[in-house]
Amino acid sequence: MKNVEGKIVLITGAAMGMGKLYAERAVAEGALAVVLWDINRTALAETVDQLKQAAGATEVHSYLVDVSDRHAIEANAALVLDQVGVPDVLINNAGVVRGNKYFWETDSVADTEFTMKINTLAPMFITRAFLPAMIEGGKEGRLVNVASSAGFVGNPRMAAYAASKWGAIGFSDSVRLELEQAGHKQLKVTTVCPYYVKTGMFDGAKSGLLVPLLEPDHVVNEVWKAMRKGTPFVVLPKTVLVNEALKGLLPTGLRDLVVGKIVGIHKTMDDFKGRQD
């Protein structure tokens, strides 16, 4: 895929942060339509106004969607298919972070269940709502699932978040393989696994040795390039992959020492605050 000119692009969590940056990129490339899903009514309206000023011929559609609610996902997906059409590019970007507590100190509903619904189940339900139509259309398409490097490594004070992203990675890469096995090779899946990104969601989180906090523009640029190519994984920074190598080389205790003490990952959430709104 050279670009998204003339294509329909749907983005969840599109009102701010990286979701908004993806929407701006789609408009800049001349997408036929950009579909924004978000739960923040005020931010969504502001983003729509900004995009329409630069949209040219691109249609901008917005839907107020609580992606923690499967019924809301299914109802709004049906509206999109009827009112806009089948997405050519689907970016599951919406996500939440809960941290800075040990798991036994967290709330099972407000922390664990909420995190799993948005970070793990929502991408699954949204993909299920659109993928059959994308397959039936037979056109070149892309599915981008934003996970996290936390999906590769356990980390204190973010157990539910890490679990949600481990699940997202397993789901996303399995669907990639399923599409290939079923012969739908025109549809490519990209799983995105960045370290902490400076969007406000990770306010207070720390960098570690060789794993700096990431700039949103840089992440979006890398993801966009990978999406167009159909690259299976985007891992940022590449040094995150060192942990994957260590899993097969070092005993667990020694790997914990390297990752936790030397690289400093196990202390990165000690001062986490997150986005206060």
Which residue type does 21 have? Answer: L
C-alpha dist (Å) from residue 185 to 76, 123, 181, 223, 272: 27, 20, 9, 20, 41
Q: 190 - beta bridge partners?
A: 144
Element containing residue 131 per DSSP (H, E): helix 122-137
Q: What is the predicted pLDDT for the residue at 164? A: 98
Tell me how far apart the alpha carbons of residues 200 and 184 are, in angstroms, rounded to a whole number. Answer: 37
Q: What is the predicted pLDDT for the residue at 80? A: 98
pLDDT per residue over 145-190, tens digit each? 999 999 998 899 999 999 999 999 999 999 999 999 999 999 999 9
Residue 250 is classified by DSSP as S
Q: What is the predicted pLDDT for the residue at 163? A: 97
Element containing residue 233 per DSSP (H, E): strand 233-236
pLDDT per residue over 93-127, tens digit each? 999 998 789 999 999 999 999 999 999 999 999 99
Burial environment of residue 77 by CB neighbours within 10 A (0 to 12, 13 to 18, 19 or more)? buried
User: Residue 154, Cβ neighbours under 10 Å: how many?
Assistant: 15
C-alpha dist (Å) from residue 63 to 2, 43, 205, 236: 28, 12, 31, 30
C-alpha dist (Å) from residue 210 to 154, 159, 166, 205, 265: 18, 22, 22, 15, 10
Is residue 102 annotated as a catalytic residue, yes or no?
no
Catalytic residue, chosen from 22, 63, 161, 195, is 161
Whether pLDDT at 277 is above 80: no
State the pLDDT confidence band at 9, using cuts at 50, 70 and 90: very high
Q: Do 226 and 234 meet the contact criterion of CB atoms below 8 Å apart?
A: yes
Q: What is the predicted pLDDT for the residue at 98? A: 86
State the pLDDT confidence band at 259, using cuts at 50, 70 and 90: confident
Tell me how far apart the alpha carbons of residues 214 and 201 are, in angstroms, rounded to a whole number. Answer: 12
Q: Do 197 and 238 meet the contact criterion of CB atoms below 8 Å apart?
A: no
Whether pLDDT at 239 is above 60: yes
State the pLDDT confidence band at 274, using cuts at 50, 70 and 90: confident
Distance, CA of 170 to chain centre: 14
Q: What is the predicted pLDDT for the residue at 270? A: 86
Q: Do 265 and 211 meet the contact criterion of CB atoms below 8 Å apart?
A: yes
Tell me how far apart the alpha carbons of residues 40 and 224 are, in angstroms, rounded to a whole number. Answer: 24
pLDDT mean across residues, the chain:
94
Q: 38 - beta bridge partners?
A: 64
Averaged pLDDT, 191-195: 96
Averaged pLDDT, 73-81: 98
pTM: 0.95
Q: What is the predicted pLDDT for the residue at 275? A: 75
C-alpha dist (Å) from residue 34 to 7, 60, 95, 164: 9, 5, 19, 27
Which residue type does 86 have? Answer: V
Q: Which residues contact 71 (CB under 8 A, 6 or more apart)?
A: none
Which residue in the block uniquely carries the two structure tokens 């070149």? 140
Whether pLDDT at 242 is above 80: yes
Q: What is the predicted pLDDT for the residue at 8? A: 98
